[in-house]
Structure 1
Amino acid sequence: MNKQLYRIIFNQARQMWMVVAEIARAGRGRTGRRAHRPSSPQHRCRLTALRFGLLLALGGISLTAQAAIVADGQAPGRQQPTIIRSANGSPQVNIQTPGADGVSHNTYRQFDVDKQGVILNNSHQATQTQLGGMVAGNPWLAKGDASVILNEVNSHDPSRLNGWIEVAGHKAEVIIANPSGITCNGCGFINAHRTTLTTGQALMERGRLKGFDVNQGEVRIDGHGMDSTQQSYTDIIARSVAINAKLHAQDLKVTTGRNIVDATHQQIEKKSADNKKSPEFALDVAALGGMYAHKIRLIGTEAGVGVHNAGNIGATAGEVHITAEGWIGNSGTINGRDALQLTSSSDVTNAGKLLSQSTVNLHTKGGLDNQGRVEARSDATVTAGTIHSSHDSVWAAGLDDNGNTTRPGSLTLTAQHVQAKGKNLATNTLAIHSQQIDLSDSQTAAGQIQLTAGQAGISTARASVNADRLTAKTPGQFNNDGGQLVAREIHLTTPDLSNQQGKINQTGTGELAFHTR
C-alpha cells in the first residue's frame, strides 16, 4: 500500500465517481463489521494532472474531503454547479451557465463557508483572485458571465458563513437563499456589487429571478460579524433576524416577516398569518451587536412581533428608518445622521438613546414610553396614542455639539395624553397638543411654548417652565401649584387657574394676558 496512490471508485450511494486513497477501506456498518455487498468491479486508471483537472472541473469526480459546499444532485443539471479546489486549496465553485436575464441559478444541499472562504468563479478565462490566487476559467461560462449569482440551498440545516465569499472575474450580485436559516460569523463579500441573505424560496420565471417567498427561517450575525462594506447594497430578507455581532454595510435594508418580496427589495407583499408560532422578535440586536451603515431601513411586517435593540444601530451618512407592525423597544442607541424615523403599529419604549444630527420622527398608534433620551439637532416630532416620559427622560430639539439648544429646532408632541416629567427642551417652538398635558416636576424650556389641552387640563405643578413667549389654552383646569412660569410674554386661557405656592412671572413690558374662556 502507498499513501500517495489514489484510485477512482464508483460510489453507489452517491451515484458518482470519487477519488479515494489506495489505503481506503470499504464502509462499515454500525457494528463495526465489514459490510457484505455484492462485489462490483473496481476500475483503476492512471491519471495525468491534466486529465484529473478536467474531470474535477467538469464534476466527473468529487473529492471526499470537500463537504462544506455540496451541489444538489436532485436539481436539474443546469442548476448544479461544480465544486473544486483552487490552487491554494480554498473551495471554488464553477457557477452554472446564466440565463438570458444574466441569472446563474445554483442549487446546493449544503452551503457552508469556513475561514478559507469560497470563490464563485464568474470568469470564462483564467483570472486572479484574493482568496485563491490565479484560478482557471469556468467552462460553464462560454456564453458569458453572470450578473446575478443565485445560491439556493435545499437543506434542513442553516448555512454557516464563517469566511469571505469572493466573485472571481466580473462583479455580480450574490444571493444566498436558505429557508432553514443563515448564520454569519466572520463572513464578508469581495467583488460583489450587491449581496442578499434570505430565508425565502427563490421565485423564478423563465430563468428570471422575480423575488423571494419567505415563510420561515432566521438570519443570524454572530461572533466576528459581517462585512458588506464593499457592496453598494446589502439586503437581509427573513422571517426573523438576530444581530449578536457587528454588521457593517453601505446601504442596508432588512425586511422580516412572512412576505413575498420582489428581487429589487422594493415591493413587499405581506402574507396572511400561519399556524406556526411567531418568532419572539422580528429583529433582535443584542448588547454586543450593532448595525452600521450609511443608510439603514428596517421593516417588520408581522403583527405583534417586536423590534428590540440593546446594541447600536447607526447610519453614519444617511437615515435610519424602522417600521414595525409590532412594538419597538430600545435600550441601546439608534442614531440617524440625516434623519431618524420610527413607526410602530403597537407601542414604542425607549430606555436608551434615539439621536439624529437632523430630524427625529416617532409615530406609534399605541403608547410611547420614554425613559431615556430623544435628541435632534433639528426638529423632533412625536405622534402617539399616549406619551409618558419619566423624571430622568429628555426630549430635545435644536441641540449643538455641547448639548445646548442653540441650533434651530422645534419639538412637537401630539397624543391623547401627554405626561412629560423630565427635561423638555427646544430652541424654537415646543408645542404640545393633547386632551391632558402633565408637565409636573419637569424642566421645560423653549423660545416659544404652546400648550393646547382638552377638558382634562394642564398641569405644571412643581415644574420649571421658561420661554420667551408662553401660550396655554384649556377648557379645564390649569394647575401651577408650586410651579414657576417665567416668560417675556404670557397668555393663559383657562376657566380654573390653581397657583398655590406657584409663581407666574412675565418679564416683558406688556401685561399678563389671562382669559377665563
Structure 2
Amino acid sequence: MKMNKTTLLLSAAALLLPSAPLLAQIAPQAGVASVDHINQVPVVNINRAGADGVSHNVYTQFDVGAQGAILNNSLAGANTSLAGTVAGNAQLEGRAAKVILNEVNSVNKSILKGMVEVAGQRADVVIANKSGITCNGCGFINARNGVLTTADLQFKDGAFNGYHVNQGNIRVEGEGLTKGDVDYTAVIARTAEISAAVHADALLVSAGKKTVSADLSRFNSVEASKDKPEVLIDVAELGGMYANKIRLVANENGVGVNSGNANGAGSNAGASLNNVSIVSIQTDAGSDERVQIGNGAQNVSRASVGIANRGQIQAKNGGADISTDSLVNQGNIASQGQLNISATRLQNEKNVSARSASLTATQLDNIGRIEGGAIRLNATQLNNRGSVKTQNGALTLRATRVDNTGGIQSAQALQLNATSLFNAGNGVIEAQNGAAIQGTSITNRGSIVSRASSISLSDTSFSNYGRIEAYGDISHRGVSFNNSGTMRSTSGAVTNNGRDINKPANSWGWGYGGFGWPYGWSYWM
C-alpha cells in the first residue's frame, strides 16, 4: 500500500501520543447485576442482599482501570469520590448490603489498577478470582473489610460461610495496594507476592491451602499437595507493608514467609502469629508506631525457612509477636514495646532489640545481637556466639543446653537455668546486680561476673577453668566442684557447701587475684 506524507505524519504522531489508560472491564454473568458508566467510571448496580445482608455477584471478568469502579449500595443516591453523584440502586429493593461478594469465574487473572468504592452504605467488599489477582494501584473506599482472594467462596444454608483456598496467586506490584478508606484489608491466596507497597489500617495476608472463616478470625489448614510452592508469602526487596495491624499467615508444611518490608503505623496497631510459619507483629501504642519487615535472607533454602528477614522488622511504641517453624534473621528486628518470638528454629545473624523481649525456641543460634530493656529467653539448645544483653532490666535464660562463646550480660539481675552450661574461654556471663546460675553440669572456661552484687551457683557437677568474680558473696552448692581457675569476691565471702570438693592447698588468701593486682579475698580451690 502506498502511503502519502499526511499518512506518515499521522502515524508518527500516533506513536508519540500517550497510550489510553486501562478502563475497567467488568462483565457480570447473566443475572440481576448491571453496569452503568459515569465519567468513564463503571458503576455496578449490585444484586439485592439476602436475609444475611450478603449481595452475591458473579462475573466473567472483573478488571479495574486507573479510574476505579463503584459498587452501588445506595438506596436513594450518593456522592462518590470517583464519579460524583450516583443514582440509587433500584435492584437493592430497599435493603442495602452489609457484604458485597464479587466472584469472578474466569481463566484469567483480575487486573486491579484503581480503587473500588462502595456508594451508599458502608459494606464489606470481597473480590474473589481463583485464577489470581494482580493489584497495581488498587484499594478500597467506603468499605469496612476489603478482601482480595483466590478462594472458593463457601456457603452454608444459603449464607456466606467463608473461604476455601486451594490455588491461585495474588501479586501486588507497581503502584501497590493503597490505604484508601477501609478498616481492614485482607489478601487470602495460595501464594502472595508483595513486590510493591501495601498500605492499610489493619492488614491480613494469608497464604497456603486452608479454610478461613467469613469473619477472618479462624484458619484451618487443608492437607498440602505435593506441588508445594517455595514460599507462600514473598515480600520482595521493593515490596513493603505499612499498617496499624499486620498479620501474616502461612501454613503449608515446609513452606513459609519470606519477608521484604512491612510497616505498622498508628494507634492500636498489632499483628499475631498462631499457626505454622506465621509472622505476627503486634503494636498497641500511639500514632507514630511503625512495623517494618525486611528482605528475604540470602543463602537460605526458602522451602525450609518459615521467615527469612534480611531487612527491617520494627515496631515503634508498640510490640511485635513472631511465631513460626523457622526464623532466620539477617536484618534488624526491633520493637520499642514488647517483642515475642516463638520458633522451632531461631537463627539470629544480626540485630534483635526491644524494650522487653521474650524469645522461645527449640534451637536458638545467635551470632548477632539480642538486646532489650529486659529479656526472657527459653530454648532447648542455645548456641550463643554473639551478644545477649539487657539495657536496664533483668535477663532470664532457661535452656536444656547452653554453649556460650559470646556475651550474656544483664544490666540488672541474671537468672540462668540450664541442664548443661558450657561457657567457653572467650565467653562472658555478666550481671550488674546478682547472678543466679543453676544446672546439672556447669563448665566455665571464660568469665562469670557480678559487678555490684553476688553470684550463686547450684549444680550437680561444676568445673571452673576460668574466672568467677563478684563484688558480693560467691556461693556454690552442689555435688562435685572442680576448680583450676579463679574465684574472688571484692567485699563478700566465697563459700562452698557441696559434698565433693577438689581443691589444692592454700586456697584462701589475701593478696592477688588472677590478673596481678590486689583485689581482696580470693578463693583458689
Pairwise TM-score range, normalised by the shorter structure:
0.7 to 0.9
- Cα deviation for residue 165 of structure 1 reads 0.9
SS of equivalent to 1:146: coil
Q: Where do residues 373-392 of structure 1 align in structure 2 (5 Å cutoff)?
A: 373-378=351-356, 380-390=357-367
CA contact (8 A) 2:413 2:431 kept: no
2:491 aligns with 509
- Cα deviation for residue 253 of structure 1 reads 2.1
1:39 aligns with none
- Cα deviation for residue 136 of structure 1 reads 2.9
Q: Partners in 2 of 1:457 and 1:124 — Cα distance?
A: 71
For residue 245 of structure 2, the aligned residue among 280, 287, 295 is 295
Q: Which amino acid aligns with 1:510?
A: G
- Cα deviation for residue 236 of structure 1 reads 1.9
CA contact (8 A) 1:101 1:207 kept: no
Q: Partners in 2 of 1:66 and 1:82 — Cα distance?
A: 17
Structure 2 residue 450 is matched with structure 1 residue 498: no
* Alpha carbons of structure 1 residues 504 and 460: separation in structure 2 relative to 1, 3 Å: farther
CA contact (8 A) 2:309 2:331 kept: yes
Q: Partners in 2 of 1:339 and 1:66 — Cα distance?
A: 42
1:339 aligns with 319
Q: Partners in 2 of 1:477 and 1:168 — Cα distance?
A: 69
Q: Partners in 1 of 2:262 and 2:413 — Cα distance?
A: 34
The number of aligned residues is: 427
Residues 259-294 of structure 1: per-residue CA shift (max 9 Å, x gap):
12121112222222234x112212111122111211
For residue 218 of structure 1, the aligned residue among 132, 155, 169 is 169
Q: Partners in 1 of 2:76 and 2:440 — Cα distance?
A: 81
Structure 2 residue 44 is matched with structure 1 residue 84: no
- Cα deviation for residue 381 of structure 1 reads 1.4
1:364 aligns with 343
CA contact (8 A) 1:103 1:207 kept: no
1:125 aligns with 76
1:148 aligns with 99
Q: Where do residues 247-396 of structure 1 align in structure 2 (5 Å cutoff)?
A: 247-275=198-226, 277-317=227-267, 318-326=269-277, 327-336=306-315, 337-344=317-324, 346-365=325-344, 367-378=345-356, 380-390=357-367, 393-396=368-371
Of 300-309 and 437-446, more deviation after overlay is shown by 437-446
* Alpha carbons of structure 1 residues 139 and 240: separation in structure 2 relative to 1, 3 Å: same
For residue 457 of structure 1, the aligned residue among 412, 416, 421 is 421
SS of equivalent to 2:91: helix
- Cα deviation for residue 206 of structure 1 reads 4.9
1:15 aligns with none
CA contact (8 A) 1:83 1:93 kept: yes
Q: Partners in 1 of 2:421 and 2:154 — Cα distance?
A: 57
1:185 aligns with 136
Q: Partners in 2 of 1:127 and 1:475 — Cα distance?
A: 74
CA contact (8 A) 1:258 1:271 kept: yes
* Alpha carbons of structure 1 residues 220 and 418: separation in structure 2 relative to 1, 3 Å: same
CA contact (8 A) 2:431 2:450 kept: yes
- TM-score using structure 2 length: 0.76
Q: Where do residues 163-178 of structure 1 align in structure 2 (5 Å cutoff)?
A: 163-178=114-129
2:160 aligns with 209
Q: Where do residues 223-262 of structure 1 align in structure 2 (5 Å cutoff)?
A: 223-262=174-213
CA contact (8 A) 1:492 1:514 kept: no
Q: Partners in 1 of 2:337 and 2:413 — Cα distance?
A: 20
SS of equivalent to 1:462: coil
1:27 aligns with none
* Alpha carbons of structure 1 residues 477 and 148: separation in structure 2 relative to 1, 3 Å: closer
Q: Partners in 2 of 1:245 and 1:173 — Cα distance?
A: 24
Residues 185-204 of structure 1: per-residue CA shift (max 9 Å, x gap):
11121111221111111113
Q: Which amino acid aligns with 1:471?
A: A
1:475 aligns with 440
Q: Which amino acid aligns with 2:388?
A: N
Structure 2 residue 428 is matched with structure 1 residue 448: no
Structure 2, unaligned stretches of length 5 or more? 1-21, 278-305, 473-489, 500-525
Q: Partners in 2 of 1:206 and 1:228 — Cα distance?
A: 34
Residues 292-325 of structure 1: per-residue CA shift (max 9 Å, x gap):
2112222222111111112234354322323452
SS of equivalent to 2:412: strand
2:396 aligns with 431
Q: Where do residues 30-109 of structure 1 align in structure 2 (5 Å cutoff)?
A: 68-73=25-30, 77-78=31-32, 81-86=33-38, 88-109=39-60
Q: Partners in 2 of 1:459 and 1:241 — Cα distance?
A: 44
Residues 24-71 of structure 1: per-residue CA shift (max 9 Å, x gap):
xxxxxxxxxxxxxxxxxxxxxxxxxxxxxxxxxxxxxxxxx9871111
- Cα deviation for residue 442 of structure 1 reads 2.2
- Cα deviation for residue 108 of structure 1 reads 0.6
* Alpha carbons of structure 1 residues 441 and 516: separation in structure 2 relative to 1, 3 Å: farther
Q: Partners in 1 of 2:311 and 2:497 — Cα distance?
A: 45
Q: Partners in 2 of 1:496 and 1:477 — Cα distance?
A: 5
Residues 381-430 of structure 1: per-residue CA shift (max 9 Å, x gap):
1111111111xx111221xxxxxxxxxxx312222221222221122221
Q: Partners in 1 of 2:338 and 2:75 — Cα distance?
A: 50
Q: Which amino acid aligns with 1:372?
A: K
Q: Which amino acid aligns with 1:415?
A: A
SS of equivalent to 2:264: strand
- Cα deviation for residue 334 of structure 1 reads 1.9
CA contact (8 A) 2:174 2:195 kept: yes
Cα RMSD of the aligned pairs, angstroms, is 2.3
SS of equivalent to 1:140: helix
- TM-score using structure 1 length: 0.77
Q: Partners in 2 of 1:315 and 1:420 — Cα distance?
A: 33
CA contact (8 A) 1:462 1:484 kept: no
- Cα deviation for residue 503 of structure 1 reads 5.7
CA contact (8 A) 1:338 1:357 kept: yes
- Cα deviation for residue 510 of structure 1 reads 2.2
Q: Partners in 1 of 2:128 and 2:398 — Cα distance?
A: 48
Q: Partners in 1 of 2:498 and 2:381 — Cα distance?
A: 23
CA contact (8 A) 2:454 2:470 kept: no
Q: Percent identity?
A: 36
Q: Partners in 2 of 1:463 and 1:273 — Cα distance?
A: 44
CA contact (8 A) 1:307 1:324 kept: no
Residues 180-224 of structure 1: per-residue CA shift (max 9 Å, x gap):
111111112111122111111111345421111111112221111
* Alpha carbons of structure 1 residues 323 and 286: separation in structure 2 relative to 1, 3 Å: farther
For residue 397 of structure 1, the aligned residue among 342, 367, 372 is 372
Structure 2 residue 110 is matched with structure 1 residue 159: yes
